[in-house]
């Protein structure tokens, strides 16, 4: 947009740090330093300070807790540093005068873009304290940096936007009493010599907070905890570094201006400069850009059983979704999609679902956003989702669908924070009708549209959070649910086969979907619903890259079969070339549930009825495990076997079938349409 395709962009890695302190390649991006090299995914205790929804904010004392362990290394590196702490950014809140001045000064596309983003934040704020709670953190810091660079070149060392002074400071990474090792601090515990040359009795050598519910940090009878890791402190010890610090934003020297901060003036001037202005928005880039909703024309066709897919947007889930969209409408009628926000992707990746639906001509199917945390956990808790890797086949890869998301045609529907007073916002946004539907709302809408004789079949491809919430919130839900196909779970057997929690090696027998929300799994699987479980043992029989790629290679080519082939080929290549991607084949097994739902007896399934119980007792090394319990009142049908040859051929043949193929095959095809005038209709 800004005409700067020349600027390189890099992402950190997750190479890790060994217990001996060896720093491996590509370290430092995905996880805090103190978590690198540990046996679990880690990092969640810092991530949980970040608001998951619009309207959250960081407490002053926890801001640097997010990357607290890196900061001492940086501060003591000898690099000249200017710190812009919350003490300074708290002196430049976005007030009404600035907001309304900005509203009337939008002379460039980038100014319009920035104001729209700011207005959306204001309109969807969780309460009406926006003007006292929203600060110019990052942009103010950029202004301070630019001013220092400009002035320092001239030897003035002043700053136009902030008052600066030198201080002796450090960042505390642990808690008193220092030098008492309780197993929480990987920089000291178990080491004769501390890592990185840290002092044995210093501000980095105490208990490391393990989360917002860490009992060590709580003070009985008080709302204020005693933990200080993440605090930036002015100290006089050898652990301090001499750092230039911004203390507050400078007031506007022009007393007649409605803007009370000097930076506000510069910010609006810079955004509205025609020089270096943005080259184009999407409508300027494509002169015949138009938004079209693609919907199927079923006419008088008889439709099959109503189906909802509940997914957490892993690669296997997207292949399953495409497969279900290819199924004959007289077999299944896909009514809606529910999305878990506590699995393999962030909820904003709903955009990819919208794009796939647009490609396949199904912009009529609603998508509902589910919770971002497991059942029974705090609103900012992440006890279970922390096991999902950040990089290397985890959240970062999933959110881009391994780099292939941008090859999909762009849907007019997007994940959005647009809101209205009706749904709890303090004011209406410009487009409240665009608000992202919630999972329960989609469920209610589908339920209300059913014929009296119809019931819903649900296939779950992720944690069971959404279905459990539906069952707990809608007491009549079980009366309209015909069957549930649950992809996940691992039943402990005589062969002592292991689960797939490679990020939690202490839990040998659980499977990801069940561990991500064990209480939800218990709620659903131990209910009276008619449930067919597609366990890990069966998924592993459907997890051959060679066989599925070979089958796709010999099938007819359609846009969707080509897309799936590219995706699976990418996963296979990553697994072969990079050790951190060793787990890529676990996504292949997730497709089995969709195939069994559609094909049924055609893949010659074998089912066994088993009484089971789910372990959900808040113990990391046991949660999510499924055990045979002869005393259990609940039994599920378990898919124990199927014909793999039929399975692979039916996937490939379905994806390659010309019927119900993509309406628009790719973003490249879409941009070609947007670059030429629409055909005139003959009169």
Euclidean distance between CA atoms 414 and 353, whole angstroms: 9
Q: What pLDDT, in 10s, does the model give residues 245-276? A: 999 999 999 999 999 999 999 999 999 999 88
Q: What pLDDT, in 10s, does the model give residues 581-590? A: 999 999 999 9
pLDDT, residue 265, reads 97
Give CATH superfamily name and number for 305-425+432-672: Ribonucleoside hydrolase-like (3.90.245.10)
Nearest partner of 656 among 326, 362, 358, judged by Cα:
326
Euclidean distance between CA atoms 646 and 661, whole angstroms: 22
Euclidean distance between CA atoms 437 and 415, whole angstroms: 9
How many CA atoms lie less than 13 Å away from 533 in the CB half-sphere? 30
All structural domains of the chain with their residue ranges: 6-33, 69-276, 305-425+432-672
pLDDT, residue 660, reads 92
* Residue 591, CA distances (Å) to 229, 306, 462, 568 in order: 44, 19, 12, 12
**pLDDT top residue among 259 and 230:** 259
pLDDT, residue 21, reads 62
Q: What is the pTM of this model?
A: 0.90
- Looking at the chain, the whole-number percentage of residues with pLDDT higher than 90 is 59
Mean pLDDT for 415-419 is: 86
pLDDT, residue 40, reads 39
**pLDDT top residue among 530 and 132:** 530
pLDDT, residue 298, reads 66
Sheet holding 332-339, edge to edge: 367-369, 332-339, 305-311, 456-460, 481-487, 531-534, 635-641, 606-614, 626-628
Sheet holding 232-234, edge to edge: 82-83, 241-249, 162-171, 232-234
Q: What pLDDT, in 10s, does the model give residues 452-465? A: 999 999 999 999 99
Highest-scoring range by mean pLDDT, 74-83, 491-500, 536-545: 536-545
- Are the C-beta atoms of residues 340 and 462 closer than 8 Å to each other? yes
Q: Residue 599 — pLDDT band, cuts 50, 70, 90?
A: very high
Mean pLDDT for 55-83 is: 55
* Residue 535, CA distances (Å) to 499, 512, 529, 621, 633 in order: 10, 11, 17, 19, 20
Token code pair at residue 396: 């970062």
Q: Is the predicted pLDDT of residue 197 greater than 80, yes or no?
A: no
3-state helix, strand, coil in the chain (%, to 5): 35, 15, 50
**pLDDT top residue among 51 and 81:** 81
Euclidean distance between CA atoms 440 and 39, whole angstroms: 36
Sign (positive/negative) of CA torsion 460, 463, 466, 472?
positive
Average the pLDDT over each of 82-96, 257-271, 343-357, 487-501 and give the range with the smallest value. 487-501
Average the pLDDT over each of 26-40, 181-195, 477-491 and give the range with the smallest value. 26-40
């Amino acid at each position: 947009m800004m005409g700067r395709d020349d600027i390189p962009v890099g992402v950190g890695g997750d190479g890790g740090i060994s217990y001996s302190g060896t720093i491996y390649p590509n370290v430092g991006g995905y996880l805090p330093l103190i978590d690198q090299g540990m046996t679990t995914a880690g990092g969640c205790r810092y991530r949980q300070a970040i608001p998951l929804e619009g309207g959250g904010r960081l407490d002053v004392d926890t801001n640097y807790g997010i990357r607290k362990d890196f900061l001492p290394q940086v501060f003591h590196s000898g690099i000249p540093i200017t710190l812009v702490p919350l003490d300074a950014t708290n002196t430049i809140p976005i007030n009404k005068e600035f907001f309304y001045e900005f509203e009337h000064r939008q002379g460039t596309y980038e100014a319009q873009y920035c104001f729209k983003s700011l207005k959306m934040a204001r309109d969807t704020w969780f309460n009406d304290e926006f003007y006292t709670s929203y600060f110019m953190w990052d942009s103010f810091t950029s202004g301070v940096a630019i001013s220092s660079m400009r002035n320092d070149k001239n030897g003035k060392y002043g700053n136009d936007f902030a008052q600066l002074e030198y201080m002796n400071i450090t960042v505390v990474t642990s808690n008193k009493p220092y030098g008492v090792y309780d197993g929480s601090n990987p920089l000291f515990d178990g080491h004769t010599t501390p890592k990185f040359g840290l002092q044995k009795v210093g501000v980095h050598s105490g208990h490391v907070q393990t989360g917002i519910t860490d009992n060590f940090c709580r003070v009985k009878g008080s709302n204020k905890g005693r933990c200080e890791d993440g605090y930036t402190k002015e100290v006089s010890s050898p652990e301090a570094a001499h750092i230039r610090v911004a203390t507050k934003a400078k007031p506007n020297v022009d007393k007649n201006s409605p803007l009370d901060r000097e930076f506000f003036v510069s910010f609006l001037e810079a955004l509205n400069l025609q020089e270096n202005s943005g080259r184009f928005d999407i409508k300027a880039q494509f002169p015949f850009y138009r938004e079209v909703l693609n919907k199927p024309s079923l006419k008088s066709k008889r439709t099959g059983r109503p189906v909802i897919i509940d997914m957490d947007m892993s690669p296997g889930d997207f292949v399953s979704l495409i497969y279900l969209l290819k199924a004959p409408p007289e077999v299944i009628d896909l009514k809606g999609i529910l999305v878990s926000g506590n699995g393999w992707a962030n909820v904003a990746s709903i955009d990819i679902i919208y794009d796939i639906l647009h490609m396949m001509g199904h912009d009529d199917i609603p998508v509902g956003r589910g919770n971002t945390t497991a059942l029974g956990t705090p609103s900012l808790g992440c006890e279970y989702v922390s096991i999902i890797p950040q990089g290397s086949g985890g959240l970062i890869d999933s959110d881009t669908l391994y780099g292939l998301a941008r090859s999909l045609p762009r849907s007019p529907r997007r994940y959005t924070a647009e809101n209205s007073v009706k749904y709890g916002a303090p004011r209406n946004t410009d487009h409240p009708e665009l608000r992202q539907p919630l999972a329960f709302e989609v469920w209610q809408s589908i339920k209300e549209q059913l014929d009296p004789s119809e019931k819903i079949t649900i296939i779950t491809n992720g944690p069971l959070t959404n279905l459990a919430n539906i069952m707990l919130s809608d007491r009549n839900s079980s009366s309209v649910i015909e069957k549930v196909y649950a992809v996940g779970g691992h039943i402990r057997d005589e062969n002592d086969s292991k689960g797939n929690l490679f990020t939690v090696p202490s839990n040998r027998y659980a499977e990801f979907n069940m561990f991500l929300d064990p209480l939800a799994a218990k709620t659903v699987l131990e209910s009276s619903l008619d449930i067919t479980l597609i366990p890990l043992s069966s998924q592993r029989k459907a997890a051959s890259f060679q066989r599925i790629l070979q089958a796709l290679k010999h099938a007819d080519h359609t846009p969707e079969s080509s897309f799936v082939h590219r995706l699976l080929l990418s996963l296979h290549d990553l697994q072969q070339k990079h050790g951190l991607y060793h787990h890529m084949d676990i996504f292949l097994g997730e497709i089995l549930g969709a195939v069994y739902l559609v094909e049924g007896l055609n893949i010659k399934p074998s089912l066994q009825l088993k009484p089971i119980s789910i372990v959900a007792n808040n113990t990391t090394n046991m949660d999510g495990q499924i055990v045979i319990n002869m005393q259990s009142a609940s039994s599920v049908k378990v898919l124990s076997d199927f014909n793999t040859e039929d399975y692979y051929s039916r996937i490939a043949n379905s994806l390659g079938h010309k019927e119900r193929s993509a309406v628009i095959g790719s973003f490249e095809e879409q941009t070609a349409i947007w670059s030429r005038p629409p055909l005139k209709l003959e009169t």
